Amino acid sequence: MRAYLPSYELISPARLQDALDVLGKEPGVWRPFAGGTDLMVLLEAGKLPHKNYLNIWNLKELRGVEVTDQHVTLGALTTYTEVQQEKVLQQAFPMLCRAASETGGLAIQNRGTLGGNIVNASPAADSPPALLAYDAELELVSLEGARWVAYHRFHTGYKEMIIRPEELLTRIRLPRRTEKLRHYYRKVGTRKAQAISKVCFAGTARVRNETIEDLRVALGSVAPVPLRCVKTEDALRGSELTQTTIDRARAVMADEIVPIDDIRSTSNYRHQVSLNLLADFLQQLRA
Ligand SMILES: Cc1cc2nc3c(=O)[nH]c(=O)nc-3n(C[C@H](O)[C@H](O)[C@H](O)COP(=O)(O)OP(=O)(O)OC[C@H]3O[C@@H](n4cnc5c(N)ncnc54)[C@H](O)[C@@H]3O)c2cc1C
């Protein structure tokens, strides 16, 4: 059943300071509304219990891309279309562009934002594994000031996060790495387009003389939160790329992930696919 629209309120501040004033004066009363691609689905289905929204779409402070030698910093309102068009992201952070290109269809890509994807906190979302593998950091801002937090510390449980009701996610910062990295991203879903992931895998690695000097592995849909597989990484770092290493890494990952059964897939399938993707990633590093 559709929601009864007059019972909702949406206000549209023109500046970040005005938005923070609203959030700070009545913490928890107003919730951010960015592209609305997650919120509108709930509204249409009559499943949006919260009634007061703060439209942040017009806040210029949450837009744009800043590039320095150390970082690429994206406004939280950066859309998937903008991610795909950004040259520096194509070169240095290709998995983020790939995730953006495989998120929804064109309409969703024009309107859905990276910030919304992060704070919506679905464990099946497609950009979080890439953001985790790239060691992203988030800027959270309130009237009290700004704080930067490591993205891998942001999600604390299913749909639970460290962001406070009076804070906005304003920017996403990606550290630029100078060394040559290999990148591996796979979204496994029912179809190639317009499908929510069954499993989503992002990995980066630095390999020299057939030895893994460093790597990062992150997965979606295998835990209550987007998961950085630290134990699997630790087991692989410094190892030679042999079949024995690959088998050992699969065993470590099998213990580290805890996928569930739901309407999109089964725990067993997600387990198998995750281990196969890890093996494929490592095989490709060998090649
Ligand atoms: C048809 C369809 C297909 C989709 N396909 C995919 C897909 O393939 N992969 C995928 O990952 N997602 C998909 N989605 C989900 C959705 O498009 C994304 O999660 C999108 O990035 C959400 O961004 P938004 O700006 O629209 O968020 P909104 O709907 O505006 O907000 C989502 C949540 O985030 C909060 N929020 C938003 N911005 C901020 C901020 N700056 N600070 C604090 N809180 C904030 C809001 O309060 C709300 O709780 C799909 C959705 C639809 C309708």
Q: What SS3 string covers the chain?
A: CCCCHHHCEEECCCCHHHHHHHHHHCCCCCEEECCCCCHHHHHHCCCCCCCEEEECCCCHHHCCEEECCCEEEEECCCEHHHHHHCHHHHHHCHHHHHHHHCCCCHHHHHHCEHHHHHHHCCCCCCHHHHHHHCCCEEEEEECCEEEEEEHHHCEEECCEECCCCCCEEEEEEEECCCCCCEEEEEEEECCCCCCCEEEEEEEEEEEECCEEEEEEEEEECCCCCCEECHHHHHHHCCCECCHHHHHHHHHHHHHHCCCCCCCCCCHHHHHHHHHHHHHHHHHHHHC
Q: Whose CA is nearest to atom 49 of ligand 1?
A: 120
Mean pLDDT of all residues in 145-150: 98
- List the single range of 79-83, 110-114, 212-216, 261-265 with lowest mean pLDDT: 261-265
Our answer on whether the CB atom of 162 is closer than 6 Å to any ligand 1 atom is no
pLDDT value at position 1? 72
Q: pLDDT at position 196, please? A: 84
User: Residue 65: which pLDDT band, with cuts at 50, 70 and 90?
Assistant: very high
In this prediction, residue 133 carries a pLDDT of 98
108 lines ligand 1 (CB under 6 A): yes
**pLDDT for position 37:** 98
For the chain, what percent of residues have pLDDT higher than 90?
92
Q: How far is the CA of 37 from the centre of ligand 1 (A)?
A: 5
Q: Is the pLDDT of residue 194 over 90?
A: no
Q: Examine the pLDDT at 274 and tell me if it is beyond 80.
A: yes
Instruction: Decide if pLDDT at 191 tops 80.
Output: no
Judge whether residue 287 has pLDDT over 90: no
What pLDDT is attached to residue 202? 98
Q: Does residue 81 line the site of ligand 1, with CB under 6 A?
A: no
pLDDT at position 199: 95
- Closest approach atom of ligand 1 to CA 169: 42
In this predicted structure, what is the pLDDT of residue 195? 79
Per-residue pLDDT tens for 166-179? 999 999 999 999 88
What pLDDT is recorded for position 2?
78
What's the pLDDT score for residue 250?
98
pLDDT classification of 3: cutoffs 50, 70, 90: confident
Contacts of 229 by beta carbon, 8 Å cutoff, 6+ apart: 217, 218, 219, 253, 256, 257
CA of 38 to the centre of ligand 1 (A): 4
pLDDT higher than 80, residue 232: yes
Mean pLDDT of 182-192: 90
Tell me the HSE value of 65 on the side-chain side, using a 13 A CA sphere. Answer: 15
Question: Would the pLDDT of 88 be above 80?
Answer: yes
| Beta carbon of 31 within 6 Å of any ligand 1 atom | yes
Residue 261 has what pLDDT?
86
Q: Is the CB of 20 under 6 A from ligand 1?
A: no
Which whole number is the average pLDDT over 90-116? 97
Q: Indicate yes or no: pTM above 0.95.
A: yes
User: Which protein residue's CA is at the shortest distance from atom 31 of ligand 1?
Assistant: 116
Mean of pLDDT values over 170-189: 95
Of all protein residues, whose CA lies closest to atom 23 belonging to ligand 1? 116
Mean local confidence (pLDDT), 60-68: 98
